[in-house]
Amino acid sequence: MAETQVLIVGAGPVGLTLALDLGQRGVRCVLIERNETSIQLPKMERCNARTMEIYRRLGIAEKVRDAGLPRSAPMDVFLATSMADLPLARLACPSVAEAKAEIAAHNDGRPLEPYQLISQYTLEPLLRSIVETHPNVTVRFGCELTSFTEERDSVTAHVRTSNGPDETIRTSYLVGCDGGSSTVRKQLGIQLQGEGNIRKLRQALFHCPDLYERIPMGKGRHYHIAEGPIFPFIILQDSARHWTLHAAASSDGEMAQIFKRSLGMPVEFEMLSVNEWTQHLLCAERYGEGRVFIAGDAAHLVIPTGGLGMNTGVGDAIDLSWKLAATLAGWGGPQLLASYEKERRPIGLRNVNASRAAMSGRLSWRAAYHPDIRKNTPEGAAIRAEMASRFDVEQRKVTEILGIEAGYRYVDSPIVWPEPGDGPDPENPHYVPTTWPGARLPHVWQRDRIALHDRMGSGYTLLRLGGKRVDTAKLEGALRATGSPLDVLDIEDDAAREIYGYDLLLVRPDLHIVWRGNQISEDADAIASVATGRAASDELQVNRKSFN
């Protein structure tokens, strides 16, 4: 029987990201995928800022950008009556190159990386090619999990292979990254809660090599066509030669007609595929049981409006990975793995809600549609103006949600030191840098222009800021006594002290903040216990006065 430390089921973007992070952390894992090849159909097309920060930390951000839409390509979002017309409304979104220049020019805590447009059918094979070369990871396509049994110290997985006999794999932990119809979730008897089967849409992929250069309103990534009740939505794919169309069409064949009508000008195209997909707003009631966990679409299903599907799943993978590694290495306490659900399920629920808000924003400008919209009359002009002004407000609920993407905070986590008060609004769609425990460490440029994120190691980091040389021996000793990896970084730059607001920060391997303060109090042992999951924060008799 094959044996491994972690068995990952499903080589979608979430399973692949988890495999890469575990591999880099020295964990042996097997990644099984029931299909013979990576996905061929278009699905997601935008990695958000936080996912790109994660890919930077994994050392693959520039590879992802090289494979994606060119850095200089505009990312604008348009509303128009056809691709051949002038826009009714345009939301300007910077190209990656422009966004990077803005990030380089500011030191105000904004995220280190901007988004990247890359089609899922490009991203998955790229991640696969990287993961397959990692010595700690075994990737097996054509290998389907059929069931598993959990014992006290291990899990035995039963797999069906496409070119050989059935097999069993014994593993210390099993993670179901096996998508919306997750076998793992179903076997655990975990229900999805929320709104399922909201609406069916069709998606078609077109090869249309001349279109990008010929759009009078200009280059962008999303083109919403003001034609009710089907509302064609045309999305640029990463080659800039392929496009997808989403529409409430009644048949596959109708998709080509809708595309042709939406173009509004003679352009050659070939329809490569059509598939139906269903909108859901669902979150699993639990994220695992015992030695078995679920992540990504297996745990939450959102409407892609706002791009919170894969991106939320990548966040799950990064939260779970270091906890598995720490537990397997022996220094992680029991609260670490228990905290996975406590940290990530609230984010799953929050992002389901953000996706609902994004979708209702879209529906609200669509409600201004009237069949006279194209008419060259005062009524037609008024309809166009109303729809454009609503679009300008409501569509931003889809495109301007950096706070949801990068500002998530693990409120009430058992492995984060509790501070009195409520902290900043964890639902804020606008990103506000904060070091409130549980938040992701804001990005700061140092004097030498190196990003502080790039100096952080793979374990805990104790940041000593402002050049005050506070004696941190007690906390360092307490953390080292747990056997956990710790770096201590003295950062003298004023910018970091100003943005972070404290002299000391204890940061976890996933760059979320455990604790902040200006001196090490008598709580040093308790902080180390909470950080490493030996004790839950709410179990400790915390002397709240000694925080600062």
55 vs 445 by CB, closer to ligand FAD:
55
Q: How far apart are CA 504 and CA 517, in angstroms?
A: 5
Q: How far apart are CA 39 and CA 546, in angstroms?
A: 53
34 vs 90 by CB, closer to ligand FAD:
34
Q: Which of 21, 113, 297, 343 binds ligand FAD (CB under 6 A)?
A: 297
CA atoms within 13 A on the CB side of 501: 12
Question: Is residue 242 within the footprint of ligand FAD (CB under 6 A)?
Answer: no
Residues 160-219 interacting with ligand FAD (rule: CB under 6 A)? 177-179, 183, 203
Question: Is residue 311 within the footprint of ligand FAD (CB under 6 A)?
Answer: yes
Q: Angle formed by the axes of helices 473-481 and 524-531, to 10°? A: 40
**Least Å from the CB of residue 363 to ligand FAD:** 17
Please choose, out of 83-91, 302-310, 479-487, 503-511, the segment that lies near ligand FAD by the rule CB under 6 A.
302-310
Q: Which of 6, 7, 8, 14 binds ligand FAD (CB under 6 A)?
A: 14
Count of residues engaged in binding ligand FAD, rule: CB under 6 A: 33
**Least Å from the CB of residue 344 to ligand FAD:** 13
11 vs 77 by CB, closer to ligand FAD:
11
Q: Which two tokens stand for residue 338?
A: 């228990």
Beta strand extents in 111-227 (DSSP E only): 116-117, 137-141, 143-150, 155-161, 167-176, 192-207, 222-225
Question: Is residue 220 within the footprint of ligand FAD (CB under 6 A)?
Answer: no
45 vs 238 by CB, closer to ligand FAD:
45
Residues 254-283 interacting with ligand FAD (rule: CB under 6 A)? 277
Residue 171 Cα distances to 16, 138, 152, 155, 544, angstroms: 18, 13, 12, 5, 41
33 vs 76 by CB, closer to ligand FAD:
33
- CA-nearest of 383, 490, 397, 502 to 442 is 502
313 vs 418 by CB, closer to ligand FAD:
313
356 vs 516 by CB, closer to ligand FAD:
356
Total residue count of the chain as it appears in this document = 548
Q: Angle formed by the axes of helices 13-24 and 120-132, to 10°? A: 30
Question: Is residue 288 within the footprint of ligand FAD (CB under 6 A)?
Answer: no
Residue 477 Cα distances to 492, 500, 524, angstroms: 23, 24, 9
Q: Which of 8, 9, 127, 411 binds ligand FAD (CB under 6 A)?
A: 9
Please choose, out of 40-48, 91-99, 103-111, 264-272, the segment that lies near ligand FAD by the rule CB under 6 A.
40-48
Q: Tell me how crowded residue 372 is: count the other CB atoms within 10 A of its CB.
A: 13
- Which residues make Cβ contacts (< 8 Å) with residue 545, sequence separation at least 6? none
Chain centroid, CA 529 distance in Å: 29
Report the interface residues with ligand FAD, using CB under 6 A: 9-15, 32-35, 43-46, 120, 144-145, 177-179, 183, 203, 277, 296-297, 304, 307-311, 313
